[in-house]
Structure 1
Amino acid sequence: MTSMMDVGDTRLAYTDVGTGSPIVWLHGSGPGATGMSNFGGNLAAFGDHRNIVVDLPGWGRSTRPTTDEPLIFHAAERVCDAMTALGIERAHLVGNSYGGAVAMRMAMRHPERVDRLVLMAPGGVLPADAPPWPKGLEHLFAYMADEKPSRQAMAEFVRLMVFDESLATESLIDERYESSLRAHPELPIPPNFGDLTPDLHRVAAPTLLVWGREDQTVPLAWASKILEGIPDAELRVLPHCRHWVQYERADEFNHIVSEFLRGGASAAVEG
């Protein structure tokens, strides 16, 4: 069940399930994204943890941010405030894409709040030659810019997120489309997400990067700067997989992440 809380100038939606060492789950910036749409299918594998699944400001049922601050920076502070309100001093952070960038920012600014980091193709660190944007980001920005986006545009976006397009089911497309109409962020295109590159060295937490080899949204080639910048980072690459690793390769993702959060080495690690 979704609950609401006030954190500063923002009203955040979140789901709080389970008991044990806490994990905060942070979703991506795609149209129609919510915490539970990104991670609801993974939570059963983490039943020995307290799972806090957040709708980041401007997505899902959370209120839109009214700030000129970069979105990553703004969201990171609101999530830290939410942890405090929930009585959580320190947690593992699991974030994909934009949510991964929010997690990195939290680890940079508030290292005492972060235990281990799991980042699936995180944003916030761009190569010097971007733009042009990868195909997935082009579709994401086009959808955000459209005042009346179509279901067909959502279907095209969802199919770009998975290598196996049979996973882009009609029900998933409907869910994401309906959610996008409820919370369609009014943002400049491209949005002012913020640049984390200068502070990568400040991430002290053990960090696992998980990437789909065929990602067309945040390409695998972008991983090298993060892997080199974070002192205690390792990389796991999953073949035949695009941007939604936690959805497309859920069983393998759950196993890899569970082992990493317990402090064990993930199998077949590259990096």
Structure 2
Amino acid sequence: MSANSPEIGQRIVAGGIETNCHDVGNGAPVLLIHGSGPGVTAWANWRLVLPELSRTRRVIAPDMVGFGYTERPAGINYGIDGWVDHAVGVLDALGIEQTDLVGNSFGGAIALALAIRHPQRVRRLVLMGSVGVPFALTPGLDAAWGYEPSLAAMRGLLDLFAHDRSLVTDELAELRYQASIRPGFQESFSAMFPAPRQRWVDAMASREADIRAIKHKTLIIHGRDDRIIPLDTSLTLNRWIDDSQLHVFGRCGHWVQIEHSADFNHLVGHFLAD
């Protein structure tokens, strides 16, 4: 991957970890935390969001430790504690006292835990297709976390992620497959969620009492036809977080920010505007 790739941002040291981070635009800060698909990077996850949201905001999108072009420290134990600390380390490294926070899927669990543990660091919270509450492991998530690199496996995963199959081209499958086999990518990914995988769903969940105590104004977004993270998780979050609203997109899988990018950007931008 060349240094002028759009997936490469700036290098910062966050919590002692050399971190690949996109920092674009001006205005009040928004931290975007990506999902956990194989070969994912912040740019791959947020590429349709960064240019739009950064028109009015300072948008920060790091590769979380274990993913993308961020350092993979030897002997690291991946888990929610380390990922929350890394996200806070990004804010500290950039001198950001308080931010709006957007988490996608796995990143939603991190965002939720960060808001619980460091409430003063978060202004508003957006959770999209979020992990972070108890649910039964879906076949789709089991397949994603259990991915073994092959073009066929990646194509099958993309079919699970997207409701609109026209988005899943041979070119995209090849691109994401190649991303998943970059040096170090699969090694760290396979170390995060080994079978049996229900335990990692449970480990990413915050306590119900802690979620119910959240005071932040929260926007919850989900694709009705999501086969990776069930819609019930967002219904639960909407019940437990008092000051929350839920927006469900029909004809949409796990990729709201890609399948309905214009509506997603408008919805999030409006929610964060006041």
Corresponding position: 1:73 with 2:81: yes
State the shift of 1:28 in Å.
0.3
Corresponding position: 1:194 with 2:194: no
Corresponding position: 1:135 with 2:135: no
Q: In the alignment, what sits opposite 2:170?
A: 170
Q: In the alignment, what sits opposite 1:108?
A: 116
Matches of 1:209 and 1:243 in 2, distance apart? 13
Matches of 2:145 and 2:47 in 1, distance apart? 25
Q: In the alignment, what sits opposite 2:160?
A: 160
Q: Is the 8 A contact 2:108 2:130 kept in 1?
A: yes
SS of corresponding position for 2:181: helix
Corresponding position: 1:224 with 2:235: yes
Corresponding position: 1:126 with 2:134: yes
Q: Is the 8 A contact 1:72 1:98 kept in 2?
A: no
Q: Is the 8 A contact 2:126 2:219 kept in 1?
A: yes
2:96 to 85, 88, 107: 88
Any idea what the Cα deviations from partners look like across 1:10-60, whole Å, max 9, x if unmatched?
Answer: 222111111111111110011111111011111222111111111111110
SS of corresponding position for 2:95: coil
1:18 to 3, 25, 32: 25
2:248 to 237, 245, 249: 237
Aligned length: 254
Q: Is the 8 A contact 1:2 1:14 kept in 2?
A: yes
Q: In the alignment, what sits opposite 1:54?
A: 62
State the shift of 1:225 in Å.
2.0
Q: Is the 8 A contact 1:73 1:194 kept in 2?
A: no
State the shift of 1:262 in Å.
1.1
Structure-2 change in CA distance of 1:8 and 1:258 (3 Å):
closer
Any idea what the Cα deviations from partners look like across 1:169-223, whole Å, max 9, x if unmatched?
Answer: 2332222212211212223232744321332123221110001000001111222
Structure-2 change in CA distance of 1:108 and 1:62 (3 Å):
same
Q: In the alignment, what sits opposite 1:212?
A: 223
Matches of 1:60 and 1:250 in 2, distance apart? 22
State the shift of 1:141 in Å.
2.4
TM-score by length of 2: 0.87
Q: Which moved more, 1:165-174 or 1:114-123?
A: 165-174
Q: Is the 8 A contact 1:161 1:217 kept in 2?
A: yes
Q: How much identity, in percent, do the aligned residues show?
A: 37
State the shift of 1:67 in Å.
4.1
Structure-2 change in CA distance of 1:67 and 1:202 (3 Å):
farther
State the shift of 1:9 in Å.
4.4
The one-letter amino acid of 1:20's match is G
Matches of 2:70 and 2:214 in 1, distance apart? 27
2:272 to 247, 251, 261: 261
**Structure 1 unaligned spans of 5+:** 264-271
Any idea what the Cα deviations from partners look like across 1:90-119, whole Å, max 9, x if unmatched?
Answer: 111111100111111110011111111111
TM-score by length of 1: 0.88
Q: In the alignment, what sits opposite 1:269?
A: none
